[in-house]
Structures are given as structure tokens and as C-alpha cells.
Amino acid sequence: MPANFPEFWLSRIIQLLNEADVASFLNGISEIPVNVTTINAGQLTEKNKIYVPETMFEVDILINNTTYPIPVQLYEDGTIEITLDKYQTKVVSLPDDQTMGASYDIIDTATAAMRRSIMVGKYQKAIHSIAPAANSVATPILNATGGPDALEDENGRLRLTYEDLVAAKKACKNFGKKRIVLCEDHWNDLLLDRKRFGDKLVNYTTGMPAPVIASFELHSYDGVMPIYNSVVTKKPYGAILEAGDKEGSVIFGVEGIAKKTGITKQYFDPAKPRTQANEYALRHYSVVTPYQNKRIGAII
């Protein structure tokens, strides 16, 4: 267990977190090329921060971001301080019988649920951070229209159609290489259009590269997508879907998104004679954000 193999366990956890490929929309997004600074290490107030040249970011979008708590502070010396999001697991009890030795199989089995919890939170926060806060020329938010026939689902929701993707292509013409991350409803809408999308989307789910349709590289994501209210304003992270709200599909230019992976830590309390079970927990830092308040959009 970590008491005997601390570096081995931690290095394996870091490897698995870095290689976890359950959010394809972040593939190829470059890491911000700065060092991570740990503040108040080992204390309740511990934070991971990065200091980035002001020229890399448009400060307004960060200050007015609707992903809370607001993680950014502008300094007078031309740098921006960004606090990375902190993801912590609950303490898990791992019996000695489950953790004897230091093989990859033992580590992977013992920590599978913990790693999944971190990645789910990390990717859901990422897609929420990327989504625009409100509609504008630089951050267009379009409505799915159901196409020329105003197609609806069984609940009266207008379906996403090829015509909607073409309209989004026009609104996002200056985005460069474009990705759209479809919410579940919108992905299912396109699956129903077998003539245009059916085969391509089914093949994608079996490991094929993401299809490119109407200039968008299409990605699906099974986690909670950003929610917009009736006045087309993004609700804070963690908000629930209420009457009048819509879940959005998120559009972005690949070169306009930044990410940074911080430190991963493990915590271990060795087994006692009476319990013969170890207590184990993980902490992981990460942030994803647009560089500027442009080249991001949504369809709701």
C-alpha cells in the first residue's frame, strides 16, 4: 500500500488521470506553458495557482465568468493569477487484503471509482467554463429550430437539424478549427436523421475519429452540459434544469481554449490492528478556460 510504495502509487494515479480519455472534446488542447505554484501546501487553504502574462488572455471574460467561484485576479505587473479548481475524493477504506503489493492491477482496481469521480467533475466543469455566458456576435447562442419542417420530439422540443448546423457555421465563421460538443438530446436528434448522420455517428461511437459535418468536428459528452435560462443566460455551475431552461451544445475554436493540469496528491492513513483497513483519498487540481470572450458559442 502507499505506506510502502508511495511514489509508485502516486505516479500510477497521475498517469491514469492524464490518460483518461472520456472527454474527447479536450483532445489536442494545449497546456498553458507556465509553472504551477502551490500556496499554503498541506493546509486547509492550500491552492494551486498559475501566473500568466496578461497578453495571453482577455481579462473581461475571466472577471465576468459565470463559473463560480471566480478564479482570476488581475495584477498591476501585467500578469493574471488563475486559481485552479480543486477536486477531492471522500476518504475510502481499503482493506489490507485488497492492497497488498504494488502491481498496476491492484492500484487500478482499488482507485477506479475515485479516479472516475475526479474525471467526471473535471470534465463537467471544463465544458461549463467553455460555454458562453450570453449571446453576442462574438459568442453566438443559437436555438435549434427543427429545420424547415419544425420537427419536434415527444416533449415538444424542437430538434437539432443539419440546417441548424449550417446556421451555426455561418455564425461561427471566424472560429478557425471548430468543435461542437453535443448534449444528449442533440446527439439523438442527429441520429434520427439517418440519411445525413446515422452511419457517421454510429461509427464514431465504436472508436472512429470524430466526424466533421458542416465544418464542425462533432463530439459527444455524457456528462451534465451547461444550462441556459429563458433569457438565454448561462446558469452557474451546478445549477439544475428547471421549467423554461434548456441544456446546450457547446461550440468553440480549438485554438481559443486553454487548460492547465495542476498537482495530484494522495492521502493515506495505514491500517490499524482492529480494522485492518487503510484510509485513502486523492486531490487533483485542474482548470480549463477560454483565452478570450470570443470563438465560443452554443446551440440550445
Instruction: Tell me the pLDDT band of 103, cut-offs 50, 70 and 90.
Output: confident
The pLDDT of residue 83 is above 70? yes
Q: Which three cell numbers stand for residue 298?
A: 452554443
The Cα 247–Cα 30 span in angstroms is 27
Name the residue type at position 109. Answer: T
Q: How many residues does the chain have?
A: 300
Mean pLDDT across the chain, nearest whole number?
Answer: 86
The pLDDT of residue 211 is above 80? yes
Q: Where are the domains of the chain?
A: 6-130+261-286, 141-255
Could you check whether the bond before residue 6 is cis, i.e. omega within 30 degrees of 0?
A: no
What are the pLDDT digits (tens) for 178-205? 999 999 999 999 988 877 776 778 777 7
Angle at the Cα of 62 from the Cα atoms of 61 and 64, rounded to 5 degrees: 65
Four-residue CA torsion sign, 56, 62, 68, 72: positive
For the chain, give the DSSP string: -TTT-HHHHHHHHHHHHHH--S-GGGTTPPBPSS--EEESTTSTT-EEEEEEEGGGS-HHHHHT-SSSS--EEE-TTSEEEEEPEEEEPPPEEEEHHHH-S--HHHHHHHHHHHHHHHHHHHHHHHHHHHS-SB--SSS-EE----TTTT-B-TTSPBPP-HHHHHHHHHHTTTSSSEEEEE-HHHHHHHHH-IIIIIHHHHHHHTTPPPPEETTEEEEE--SPPPEE-TTSBBPPTTPPP-TT-EE-EEEEEGGGEEEEEEEEEEEEEPPPTTT-EEEEEEEEEEEEEESSSSSEEEE-
The pLDDT of residue 76 is above 70? no
The residues pairing with 216 across neighbouring beta strands, listed in sequence order, are: 178, 213
pTM for the model stands at 0.86
The Cα 161–Cα 186 span in angstroms is 9
What are the pLDDT digits (tens) for 217-275? 999 888 899 999 999 999 999 999 999 999 999 999 999 999 999 999 988 888 888 88
The pLDDT of residue 142 is above 70? yes
- Residues 6 or more apart whose Cβ sits within 8 Å of residue 152: 146, 158, 159
